[in-house]
Structure 1
Amino acid sequence: MKGIVYTLGALHDGECALAGQWAEAAARHSAEHEVRHVAQILLGWSNEHGRRLADAGARYGLALDPPPEPGPRGLPPADEEGTLAEEHPAEEGLLLLLDLRELHLGACGNSLLWEMLGQVAQASGESSLLDLATSCHPRTLRQMRWTNTMLKSLSPQVLTSL
């Protein structure tokens, strides 16, 4: 039981932290419309995962705060241009690569925890936790694939322009 509690808590913390990173990336790179749009969608996924983990944790005596309700929460308007991008496009590109790297690493950590939750749920016969892991883990894998694809496509251009 302690293993389940640990994994639920760690995964909840990881999803909430990743949601914050998605929100920051969407705001910081608002001039990059694809990044802004996709980051907002992936933020919603991490928030949903956090809410579902908080609900699951309650069944094990964990008091996990659900993430804040989804919404714009201070994200700049989509047409607002960032001054850093206008004045220093190479530095803005590097900042985007670094943000994508951190998002990828956060999603990787969460992916491992989803895998662990699925394994412990299967071993202990906890079908509701297995369903949760089976439902949420594919979205985390999609987060990883998107950040990896963006890193592959942007790195050559950004890094050769420095």
Structure 2
Amino acid sequence: MNGIGLTLRALHHGERKLEKDLLAAAERHHTEHEFHHVATDLAGWSHEHRVRLAETGHHYGLDLASPHGQPSPGIMAALREVAADTLARRPETGLLLLHDLHDLYLAASGNSLYWEMLAQVAQAGRDTRLLELASDCHPQTLRQIRWANTMIKTLSPQLLTSL
């Protein structure tokens, strides 16, 4: 497998992880309605990226398609929801939210680096398929990063001083 294939595979894995993490954080903090809805929407972007990466991967001889499609919530989601309801207004919940935002920021940033690498190799190799993919998806990943960063900037002062 060449470097493009390795990067596509790593990015597919990173988008799957980010989607899963966004959905888990949305469930964990479902009492924070704005966070819950935006995180769920952003997870949809990562899901779309995974689908497009899988389609593009076929061109490079990769099978990145997930046999399961959307992750199912399962029992862990129900447990997270109960825990979120129980802890809803405790200060520790704010720290957990900041921790989740930290992890989401880092995951999206890692994906952004892979999108940038794909865009650069696409430009160098005049690969219009790869360049179109990176040009379409990378801006959404940058938006995921900005959202997490904005949430951290907004919530940190209040949450950290209320402890």
Q: TM-score, normalised by structure 1?
A: 0.90
Distance 2:63 2:10 in 1: 13
2:8 aligned with 1:2 = no
Deviations 1:25-49 (A, max 9, x none): 1100000000100011000000000
Deviations 1:33-66 (A, max 9, x none): 0010001100000000001001111111111123
Structure 1 or 2: more helix by fraction: 2
Deviations 1:9-31 (A, max 9, x none): 11101000000001101100000
Q: How does 1:57-68 map to 2 (within 5 A)?
A: 57-66=57-66, 68=68
- The answer to whether the 8 A contact 1:50-1:67 is kept is no
Partner letter of residue 10 of structure 2? A
SS at match of 2:88: helix
Query: Which of 81, 85, 88 lines up with 1:85 in the alignment?
Result: 88
Q: TM-score, normalised by structure 2?
A: 0.90
CA RMSD of aligned residues (A): 2.0
Distance 1:10 1:20 in 2: 15
The Cα of 1:69 is off from its aligned counterpart by: 4.1
Query: Segments of 4+ in structure 1 off by > 3 A?
Result: 66-76
- The answer to whether the 8 A contact 1:15-1:46 is kept is yes
Q: How does 1:90-129 map to 2 (within 5 A)?
A: 90-129=91-130
Distance 2:56 2:131 in 1: 11
Partner letter of residue 90 of structure 1? P
Structure 2: gaps spanning 5 or more residues: none
Distance 2:97 2:121 in 1: 36
Percentage identity across paired residues of the two chains? 57
The Cα of 1:3 is off from its aligned counterpart by: 1.5
The count of aligned residue pairs is: 158
2:16 corresponds to: 16
2:41 aligned with 1:41 = yes
2:153 corresponds to: 152
Distance 2:120 2:155 in 1: 35
Partner letter of residue 109 of structure 1? G
Distance 1:68 1:45 in 2: 17
Distance 1:71 1:110 in 2: 19
- The answer to whether the 8 A contact 2:12-2:50 is kept is yes
Partner letter of residue 108 of structure 1? S
Distance 2:50 2:10 in 1: 11
Structure 1: gaps spanning 5 or more residues: none
- The answer to whether the 8 A contact 2:20-2:71 is kept is no
Distance 1:67 1:101 in 2: 30
